[in-house]
Amino acid sequence: MPMSLASETVKSWFSTRGWKIFPFQRQVWKAIATGQSGLLHASTGSGKTYAVWFGALLRSMAKKASKREKASLRVLWITPMRALANDTLKALEMPLAELRPAWSIATRTGDTSSAERSRQAKALPSVLITTPESLSLMLSKADAQSQFASLDMIIVDEWHELMGNKRGVQTQLAIARLRHWNPMLLTWGLSATLGNLQQAQNALLGTGQGILVQGEKSKQIKVDTLIPEHIARFPWAGHLGIQMLPAVIREIESNSTTLVFTNTRSQAEIWYQNLLNARPDWAGLIALHHGSLAKEVREWVEQGLKSGQLKAVVCTSSLDLGVDFLPVERVLQIGSARGVARLLQRAGRSGHAPGRISRVPLVPTHSLELLEAAGAKQAVALRQIEARQVPEKPLDVLVQHLVTVALGGGFRSEELYAEVKNAYSYRNLTEEEWQWALDFVARGGQSLTVYPEYRRVLPDEDGVYRVPDIALGRRHRMSIGTIVSEASVNVKFLTGGRIGTIEESFISRLQKGDHFLFGGRILEFIRFYEMTAYVKRATGSKGAVPRWQGGKMPLSSELAHAALEQLRLASNDEFKGPEMRALKPLLDIQQHWSALPTAETLLIESLHSREGYHLFMYPFGGRAVHAGLASLIAYRVAKEKANTFSFAFNDYGFELLAPEAVDWMSFFRGENGSEVALFSIDHLLEDVLASLNATELSQRRFREIARIAGLVFQGYPGQPKSNRQLQASSSLFFEVFRKHDAGNLLLTQAQTEVLEQELELVRLRNTLQELQGRRIAFTQLPRATPFAFPLMVERFREKLSTEKLSDRVGRLLRELEKAATP
């Protein structure tokens, strides 16, 4: 039965406020009234606008609802962030306020008080705003089905943020469950622009039908670049960009509120400190925001933005989401934006007023970033936006879900198998895989049978699978979720205030009395006690900056290709736009000393230096692909002739360094009887696996899988286990499975995730095919070119050796001899 809507109510509520009703709003509303699900492509406008509008829709539902319907849960709103839950509550309440208390609305997240929880355990509100994790937790309660029995509609906000990761998969499974209980359930999603909106819709709606609605027309976004004043003295390498400080200060000065986006936490710390040093009068007017700062600190900053007291905030992606509700006039992006979608997301944080242009100035941190900026401009104009890949049947998430459902009322195997297959990510789940997952939760698979704590789910006489032990259930509820973070150390003042968290490895290098920069202050390290580093404020302006181990997001294909296109134009002597004109002198040097790499020309440079024989290549495949490519090529060459290679790679290319000369051209041209086809995609998987330490990579990946699948317990809140303990137990499982349970599908999953996510195998294959079609331009360099130089200063070096020990010793001897001769 379609939902009852009092349509006049929505219209009148809008018109009394003088608000326009857009065609897309009518479309969604009509769809809902006729019982259709769908995805709303919210390409622009703030989240707040959409929430208020949905609130008006819910208002019309409420007006029609019977008294009994009002007293039960009707609508579930899922948001990826706790902070958004509170803001959404306020926005939805605007149109709903006068209907209270008959029609109630509340949030349910980890922040919800225990009083509110027990209130909700008795009766849920009519509208509940929650997170994927809290929803899963609710599904693990024995009375889950009756709690959700009256649910009519589920709205998933920011679906683009969830669909590409395991949180999204968990959401899919939860929705499949709710839909199983109520086949008429409507599902609506809100998504930003993506390259694969249709897949986004499928992932949300599972096997169900639905429509894709185009939201408000895109607002204008203007990408431009702060051009370095003295391009000749602008660094060829580096990622900090402090040379641009004066230009950034001018931008901050001329706007009321500015968000300064940086790519890493340490970069944010350094920029904040430099801004303050240059403008001491801004103390108290500018702030710092990133994921390792304590919640209280971040909330204070968000509050300052809300009230308009802060002039600028230096941040990481921690403010990508959740500032929809804040007034921000200008957004700056320091360093590479990495992707078009990411740049648009950030651009959209500013100029929320209707009709206003969002302008994002890009701030380069090294010369070649001007090239990327020119490409970004073009890609944004053409809306060449990346797709987000939906994970394909991750079994760790399924295993967790099985235990959740067993707790939440229990399940029958066949029934749940059918339900799970209705979730998009598991549409191709085979009977064998299902049986494997079931067996894994029932007896721990082949190797853990003797341990009762891994017999988590058992069938009763009626064939209903349940969790047999209260303690097991408790432990499971404590580890619901798919986010796995590094173990970290708290940083606190001696007087008690929390500042944030940093990684164990950084703290372990500090001596008592050492200074470091964190949370925008210089701190003095006092002592370490129970996973907490105690500090006090220090004087002075210098200190080590903590580093965090973060994700290494490569440059997207879309952006890389746009940059290559700019190089093609430059090779035809077309320098359009201020970025390319500024870059011209540098590209002239590159062309003079060597050549320009383009989509048609594969530039290969070689150089002989004191370090050895260098080879440089610039496929523009992003750093993950270049890492794979470097080791693949080194492996294929070394198969022919033993040699030891060092690697360096960045988003534009890679370097191989060998102590012995290699006749590269014979390899690339397949001359001299060489049978090695370096760019061949034959035996690609085999060669990639052989060229890298695939086992070690899988083992690292397995740590996350083991935690999600519930093999490794992370400890009670407030008494976390250290990194070492967690690492030790997950590697133990890894080893046990490898030795005694080789068919364990979680091991297979670890390897697949490494290949797909860390090495980007698909993109590697595409890159190789592209390379085969490019004309090779080979140059021998007298010195490093503007493209080669950044690779030479990359400090990261990996080694692959097929060289025999005796050869190494021989080489060493020759070197010593050379050094000894005058």
Partner DNA sequence: GACCTGCTGCGGTGTG
Closest separation in Å from C-beta 453 to DNA? 15
Q: Which of 255, 479, 727, 752 binds DNA (CB under 7 A)?
A: 479
Q: Which of 179, 265, 421, 763 binds DNA (CB under 7 A)?
A: 265
Tokens standing for residue 724 = 């070492």
Beta-carbon contacts of 185 under 8 Å, excluding residues fewer than 6 positions away, are 151, 152, 153, 154, 178, 179
Strand partners, 617: 604, 654
3-state secondary structure of 433: helix
Closest separation in Å from C-beta 263 to DNA? 5
User: What's the distance, Cα to Cα, between the start and end of the chain in Å?
Assistant: 94
Q: Which of 20, 592, 739, 795 binds DNA (CB under 7 A)?
A: 795
Q: Which of 195, 238, 459, 612 binds DNA (CB under 7 A)?
A: 238
Closest separation in Å from C-beta 490 to DNA? 12
Name residues contacting DNA, limited to 129-148 (CB under 7 A): 130-131, 133-134, 137
**Is there binding between residue 111 and DNA (CB under 7 A)?**
yes
Cβ closest to DNA, residue 9 vs residue 46: 46
Report in angstroms the alpha-carbon separations of 19 from 14, 90, 155, 659, 682.
Answer: 5, 19, 23, 71, 61
Q: Which of 327, 468, 577, 720 binds DNA (CB under 7 A)?
A: 720
Stretches 42-50, 315-323, 418-426, 694-702: which one binds DNA (CB under 7 A)? 315-323
**Is there binding between residue 551 and DNA (CB under 7 A)?**
yes
**Is there binding between residue 736 and DNA (CB under 7 A)?**
no
Would you say 756 and 762 are in contact if contact means Cβ atoms under 8 Å apart?
yes
Q: Which of 267, 556, 598, 691 binds DNA (CB under 7 A)?
A: 267
Stretches 208-216, 507-515, 709-717, 804-812: which one binds DNA (CB under 7 A)? 709-717
d(CA 177, CA 487): 32
Beta strands in 618-768 (DSSP E): 644-649, 654-658
Round the CA-based radius of gyration of the chain to a whole number and report it.
29
Q: Which of 7, 199, 264, 571 binds DNA (CB under 7 A)?
A: 264
Closest separation in Å from C-beta 404 to DNA? 12
Name residues contacting DNA, limited to 610-669 (CB under 7 A): 623, 650-651
Stretches 60-68, 103-111, 184-192, 460-468: which one binds DNA (CB under 7 A)? 103-111
Closest separation in Å from C-beta 519 to DNA? 13
Stretches 93-101, 253-261, 276-284, 781-789: which one binds DNA (CB under 7 A)? 781-789
Q: What is the distance of C-alpha 413 from the center of its chain?
A: 34
d(CA 643, CA 661): 9
User: Amino acid identity of 209?
Assistant: Q
**Is there binding between residue 236 and DNA (CB under 7 A)?**
yes
Name residues contacting DNA, limited to 337-366 (CB under 7 A): 338, 365
**Is there binding between residue 492 and DNA (CB under 7 A)?**
no
d(CA 272, CA 281): 13
Angle at 337 between CA 172 and CA 345, to 5 degrees: 45
Q: Which of 80, 500, 597, 628 binds DNA (CB under 7 A)?
A: 80
Q: Which of 285, 387, 464, 478 binds DNA (CB under 7 A)?
A: 478
Cβ closest to DNA, residue 42 vs residue 624: 624
**Is there binding between residue 789 and DNA (CB under 7 A)?**
yes
Would you say 813 and 819 are in contact if contact means Cβ atoms under 8 Å apart?
no
Q: Which of 120, 316, 425, 767 binds DNA (CB under 7 A)?
A: 316
Q: Which of 69, 93, 320, 514 binds DNA (CB under 7 A)?
A: 320
**Is there binding between residue 285 and DNA (CB under 7 A)?**
no
Q: Which of 217, 356, 474, 799 binds DNA (CB under 7 A)?
A: 474
Q: Which of 18, 101, 183, 718 binds DNA (CB under 7 A)?
A: 718
Q: What are phi and psi of 50, to 5 degrees?
A: -65, -40
Residue 73 has, within 13 A of its CA and on its CB side, a CA count of 25
Report in angstroms the alpha-carbon separations of 626 from 613, 630, 631.
Answer: 19, 6, 8
Stretches 107-115, 405-413, 639-647, 684-692: which one binds DNA (CB under 7 A)? 107-115
Closest separation in Å from C-beta 20 to DNA? 33
Closest separation in Å from C-beta 496 to DNA? 19
Cβ closest to DNA, residue 26 vs residue 119: 119
List the one residue out of 79, 87, 184, 192 whose CA is nearest residue 132. 79
d(CA 341, CA 388): 10
**Is there binding between residue 167 and DNA (CB under 7 A)?**
yes
d(CA 744, CA 478): 25
Stretches 38-46, 172-180, 183-191, 314-322: which one binds DNA (CB under 7 A)? 314-322
Cβ closest to DNA, residue 81 vs residue 690: 81
Q: Which of 139, 154, 240, 502 binds DNA (CB under 7 A)?
A: 240
**Is there binding between residue 717 and DNA (CB under 7 A)?**
yes
Tokens standing for residue 516 = 């470091």
Q: Which of 220, 549, 680, 748 binds DNA (CB under 7 A)?
A: 549
Cβ closest to DNA, residue 28 vs residue 523: 523
Cβ closest to DNA, residue 650 vs residue 767: 650
Stretches 23-31, 285-293, 494-502, 679-687: which one binds DNA (CB under 7 A)? 285-293
Cβ closest to DNA, residue 108 vs residue 393: 108
Stretches 302-310, 766-774, 792-800, 810-818: which one binds DNA (CB under 7 A)? 792-800
Would you say 96 and 148 are in contact if contact means Cβ atoms under 8 Å apart?
no
Stretches 54-62, 76-84, 209-217, 352-360: which one binds DNA (CB under 7 A)? 76-84
Would you say 456 and 476 are in contact if contact means Cβ atoms under 8 Å apart?
yes
| 444 CB neighbour count, 10 Å cutoff | 19
Stretches 61-69, 469-477, 747-755, 810-818: which one binds DNA (CB under 7 A)? 469-477
d(CA 381, CA 473): 52
Residues in the chain: 822
d(CA 155, CA 175): 10
Query: Is the bond leading into 101 cis (omega within 30 degrees of zero)?
Result: yes
Closest separation in Å from C-beta 67 to DNA? 30
Strands 258-261 and 330-334 turn out to be: parallel
Stretches 245-253, 475-483, 743-751, 772-780: which one binds DNA (CB under 7 A)? 475-483
d(CA 91, CA 488): 35
**Is there binding between residue 793 and DNA (CB under 7 A)?**
yes
d(CA 48, CA 43): 14
Q: What are phi and psi of 595, to 5 degrees?
A: -160, 175
Largest CA distance in the chain: 99
Beta strands in 286-341 (DSSP E): 286-289, 312-315, 330-334
Stretches 96-104, 452-460, 527-535, 541-549: which one binds DNA (CB under 7 A)? 541-549
Angle at 637 between CA 635 and CA 641, to 5 degrees: 110
Q: 């500024």: which residue's tokens?
A: 582
